[in-house]
Amino acid sequence: MNVTVKDVAREAGVSVATVSRVLNGSDAVTEKSAQRVREAVVKLGYSPNFLGRNLRKRATNVILVIIPNADHSLYMKICAGMQACALRYGYDIITAVSNAATAVETRHLNMLFNKTVDGAVLMGTSFDAGTLNRLAEEYDIALCCEGVTGADVLTVTVDDERAGYDAADALIKLGHRRLGFIGVESNALSASLREEGFLRALGDHGIELPEEYIYRDTYDAVNGAKAMERFLALAEPPTAVFAVSDLIALSAVRRAAELGCMAGKDISVIGFDDIDACSLTTPSLSTVAQNCSEMSEVVCRKLIENIKSERKDRGYYTVEHRVMMRESTGVLNKK
């Protein structure tokens, strides 16, 4: 019932070795035999069983990408980019969502342990540096979007510190001196780097940051609204705000509007990531865009190189970011 190389060999009147040679593009075969094999393949509707092939070759040419969060369009964009890149190297990408839960992430990594995939890209992993280093000892893994302090693992991200700096700088260039910051209470490296960069920019411009201008909470859109409420209740609210994620920024913009304060006019708000919604809302959201295509390209190529080679590249690479000014930011409105 299930057609195998044997069947094809019999049909074509050759040996299984010849069939395998034709299928794998080995040139050591006469055109006549090759032709006969190809015909038999078509006639029998043969499709090679990759379990057998992979078992023998000890490779699957498949890379696993673990996504922490199904709601974030950034991750899907990067996956699409990696897929395009992998294809050129003869690899396939499969993705799985971890919901940032260690248990789920571990379950997915089983595919690495049980040889179902050749390598894995972790986007915002929940593992600590020690675990990652142990993993990297035995398997080909890479971090993307989100690095981990102390992890000696191939990593590709934007330069978050620099990006935070640039976001603040863009606001300052618009004349703002009272800058608010909405961050997240987590050990996410990217968020704290963005905060560091933000603070450095303020320092460079001799701007002080009062305690009340900083708001940190869980990574949840609704906290943009909460932060904005707090800011606007101050005697002297900030005139511009940087949020470490677009979702938070959008929620802040919305709450501000409800409180009679229009983003872009009465207050400036800039987010991070450039998710699709940024350009769909009114006002459209200024943000810092990550270069997804470059990020996916770099991480995918380097991981495949690692898989194929004995020498393992464990470098930390950064890709470009770009400040995108839209309608939610404007020059300081001197009253």
84: exposed, middle or buried (Cβ count in 10 Å: 0-12, 13-18, 19+): middle
| Residue 287's binding partner out of DNA, a copy of itself, none, with CB under 5 to 8 Å set by partner kind | none
328 binds a copy of itself (CB under 8 A): no
The pair phi, psi for residue 6, each rounded to 5°, is -55, -50
Q: How far apart are CA 17 and CA 33, in angstroms?
A: 12
**CB closer to DNA out of 1 and 235:** 1
47 binds a copy of itself (CB under 8 A): yes
DSSP letter string over 268-313? EEE-SB--GGGGTSSSPPBEEEE-HHHHHHHHHHHHHHHHH-SSPP
94 binds a copy of itself (CB under 8 A): yes
Judged by CB under 8 A, the residue of 76, 100, 214, 325 near a copy of itself is 76
Query: How near is the Cβ of 34 to DNA at its closest, in Å?
Result: 7
- The residues facing 242 across adjacent strands are 181, 270
State how beta strands 155-158 and 321-324 pair: unpaired
- The residues facing 288 across adjacent strands are 323
Stretch that binds DNA, among 17-25, 240-248, 271-279, 322-330 (CB under 7 A): 17-25
Instruction: Enumerate residues 265-324 that contact a copy of itself by CB under 8 A.
Output: 276-277, 280-282
Instruction: Enumerate residues 21-80 that contact DNA by CB under 7 A.
Output: 21, 23-24, 28-30, 32-34, 48-49, 51-53, 55-58
70 binds a copy of itself (CB under 8 A): yes
Contacts with DNA, residue ranges (CB under 7 A): 2, 4-6, 13-21, 23-24, 28-30, 32-34, 48-49, 51-53, 55-58
